[in-house]
Chain A
Amino acid sequence: MGRTLRDAALLAAKDLRLERRAKVALGQMLPFALLVLLLFAFALDPDRGVLERATSGLFWVTVLFTAVLAVQRAFAVEVDDGVLDALRLSGIAPAAVFLGKVGALVVELVVLEVVLGLGVAVLYDARLEGWGLLAVVAAAATVGIAAAGASYGLLAARLRQGSSLLPLLLLPLLAPVLIAATRGSDVALGRETGSGWPWAALLGVFAVAYLVLGTVLFRPLLEET
């Protein structure tokens, strides 16, 4: 168990180091995300309060779209260099490979969310009230997105034309995450009344479910045919 986690941490660190050198996240995904925010602002007239009311939703939709890119990127690296075969033969537990990918994705998504959050605060004039709730909601949502994304990322990598299928496969699966994260954020931003904690709990359930599923199912996905 300890060895699996340690291997996972090493693999995540490797991914992040590669990322720091290649700067795809910084160079491509962040600008994409900010661009999406801008486009929404163009489409929904900023003077009429629509943007203000829709802030959470737009934020999380943008995160979801960018996450698809991040997942594609995370596995393109492996497939291109035949790293998958090396991982398979290396004796590292598939669970460790999965958790490593999840870890790297979580870090990338957190950076994205922080930058995007600042962008939203500036561009849409959002104000923050429930820090604790927002942090928990974002954390749970991020882990869930990363877990589901890592699973489907490998799945798509095993298929021909897989990367163009990734959005179709991943986004419907993430629908409940979008709903729960948006509603929870709305409560945290004071836009909605009632408790946001049930939403956070639902996100937690999703995250745990897909962490477990991914850990178990990574082995058959990784194996050679």
Chain B
Amino acid sequence: MSALAADRTAAPTSTGSTATRVLGAVALVGLAAVALFGLVISPPDAELGETIRILYMHVPTVSVAYLAFVITAVASVAYLWKRTEFWDLLAASSAEVGVVFFALTIFNGMMWGKVTWGVFWRWEPRLVTTTVLFLTYIGYLVVRSIPTEPRTRGTVSAVIGIMAVVNIPITHKAVDWWRGLHQSRTVLGTVDPEMQGSQLFTTYLSLTAFMVLFAWLLVHRFRLAWLGERAAEQGLEAALADRRAEGQTSGSAGPAGGGATA
């Protein structure tokens, strides 16, 4: 046993691996660079002023969130088709990471709004759409947390994942039209290609760093989900074994006396 522990191919004791360590290192360096460029080096924007620095956080988080939900939708379709645990757990893991980044997107949007408009909330199309979608995926996570047969849970979640993603463009259009006619175009959430050199660079740098970070988080979260399923199975096995053991001991102490145990 101890020889095995020293063996290089011994079972891992965490969700980390060489791949994730590389990803993690790159992400950390990238984020440090983003902080340097975003907060110090790049100049304030001509139109937006210093608030563009909030957008350096806001744009990547919303991009990661959308990517995460697309992954959830694709994995959901794959799950309904192939019915393997891999796709189910990938869909769920991606959804959770997506919700975290969506929440950050809304928060950053509120910070931007407070500085720019003086209020934390305004019925601005993107903020409203994001919030509706946020609620949709919260529903997804709530459904996943209900103790259910894995296959039922997987099927139900997959259906929600697919329906939710189809709703994204429809909701976008509806909210845009709802607000678009009465308000001037906002820059929130868009990458303006006429941005000055270092600002554009910072934006793309931030996007890249966050995508690497997303990859790191997704891999770890997926592995965690995998371990969770294994632990749950094992827990079930242990409970069944306990019950059987109980049954045997009470059987041997029963009125039939020295008869064979069950």
Chain A residues closer than 8 Å to B135, beta-carbon distance: 168, 172
User: Which residue of chain B lies nearest to A183 when distances are taken between CB atoms in the complex?
Assistant: B178
A198, B177: Cβ atoms closer than 8 Å:
yes
Instruction: Give the tally of cross-chain contacts (CB within 8 A).
Output: 86
Chain B residues closer than 8 Å to A165, beta-carbon distance: 139, 142-143, 146
A220, B159: Cβ atoms closer than 8 Å:
yes
B155 at the interface (CB under 8 A from A): yes
Chain B residues closer than 8 Å to A161, beta-carbon distance: 146
A160 at the interface (CB under 8 A from B): yes
- Which residues in B have some Cβ–Cβ distance to A below 8 Å? 80, 132-133, 135-136, 138-139, 142-143, 146-149, 151-152, 155-156, 158-160, 162-164, 166-167, 170-171, 173-175, 177-178, 181
Point out which of A159, A173, A221 has the most chain B C-beta atoms below 10 A from its C-beta: A173
A206 at the interface (CB under 8 A from B): yes
Q: For the complex, what is the distance from the CA of A159 to the CA of B166, rounded to whole Å?
A: 23
Chain A residues closer than 8 Å to B146, beta-carbon distance: 159-161, 165
Chain A interface bracket (under 10, 10 to 19, 20 to 34, 35 or more): 20 to 34
User: Which residue of chain B lies nearest to A182 when distances are taken between CB atoms in the complex?
Assistant: B178
B174, A179: Cβ atoms closer than 8 Å:
yes
A217, B159: Cβ atoms closer than 8 Å:
yes
A179, B156: Cβ atoms closer than 8 Å:
no
Bits for A178-205, please: 1 = Cβ < 8 Å to B, else 0.
0110010000000000100011001001
Point out which of A176, A209, A213 has the most chain B C-beta atoms below 10 A from its C-beta: A176
Question: A172 and B136 in contact (CB under 8 A), knowing A221-B155, A221-B159?
Answer: yes
A158, B167: Cβ atoms closer than 8 Å:
no
A179, B147: Cβ atoms closer than 8 Å:
no
Q: For the complex, what is the distance from the CA of A199 to the CA of B178, rounded to whole Å?
A: 10
19 CB contacts below 8 A, A to B, read: A148-B163, A155-B160, A158-B156, A159-B156, A160-B146, A160-B148, A165-B139, A169-B139, A172-B136, A179-B174, A179-B175, A202-B177, A209-B170, A210-B163, A213-B163, A220-B155, A220-B158, A221-B155, A225-B151
B136, A173: Cβ atoms closer than 8 Å:
yes
Question: A225 and B170 in contact (CB under 8 A), knowing A172-B139, A210-B163, A220-B80?
Answer: no
A176, B142: Cβ atoms closer than 8 Å:
no
User: Which residue of chain A lies nearest to B79 when distances are taken between CB atoms in the complex?
Assistant: A220
